Structure 1
């Protein structure tokens, strides 16, 4: 548990506007149910259970604000996002106000253990400006050209699969978002701004629910009562943020 003596506030942003097309559902991905509870609600529950998040801000399309507010605990703020994920994070940063630290967490990583969230925050409070959870890559990775021909094989010992929550000193992330850079995740934006991003050990349970197979795995874990278990090495998944 994070010491209560550190009064620097932590605000968690949860962009939840994804359509979930790869999941094969008509419902927006964050609102898909897993064991009787939506992915969004489970992700928020994990943040609150960590004991180190002062506020949670969920960012959704305008037409889903009422639905999101109805399924989330009292005190969780729901704000309107934009057309792109970056627009939604910007809206979340505005809502975060004068927070010292910001976490950006995928609603699709609904089974992320609270201990992992606490680990990210502990590293931020310890002086890191940007912190991401990461797992070693277990598969061999190939680089291919446009024709599909292999052009290289990176050493997987130096590769990591990135998860969320990604944590930042708030001003650092705001500065990165003021740039015109384009990146696939928030940490990459910070890297492009010239800042160092540090890692903490990830957790297999923080896998991203993107495909029907991912959802089936998550359902199996919930049904087995393992949604908070760390003993899931057989899962072997990290996934890109």
Structure 2
């Protein structure tokens, strides 16, 4: 990958899109992870207004520290960067008191994790509406088009996706080129939606390097039966998630009424 050229290309793409849309710039949710750090830096490089938003919900202090370090660095480097902090913990807790009570279960944990992401999406669009900004997505190619590792209408609810054609390893390479804080470059990827220390790899059962391999293999037309051992295990994980999460990756189905019935 020609990293400097890729960074320049995405920056120009972002700026052209915003200018044509007649908006003031971008709003980005900053989590302390590599994807949001790279996305917000690319937005900042456009010279257009870039609002970085922290939205903690029972967040680990290490994630908060990395997000704040990154935002502080961006504000020093780019005069067009501003920030906001919206602590959604009380909102999340209030939400849990007004919805139907159910017994604790894995489904409840996942549903509440997705609720966190959707509260953040609502916050970003509130700020985007106030300031005339576009919500910039932070998903990478493996998450968005491989395993569907994001929340539908949560972090998947965005106006444009600047890094969604880059796999995770390419995002890390771009992060180093863009001088993202070293603490973020070294941190284990996590969605931070469960209020504990679990990483993306813990949830998925495979590393991003393994998932990138599986994505390439699937595109080459390989089948699970072609592999053994760990490769077979990883490929089964990838193909399973790719299948069950297609509803996130394809257009919303529309019931088209036959003309003879209209």
Indicate whether the TM-score tops 0.5.
no
Name which one, 1 or 2, has greater alpha-carbon Rg: 2
More helix by share: 2
For the aligned pair, the TM-score class normalised by the smaller chain equals 0.3 to 0.5
Using structure 1 for the length normalisation, give the TM-score: 0.33
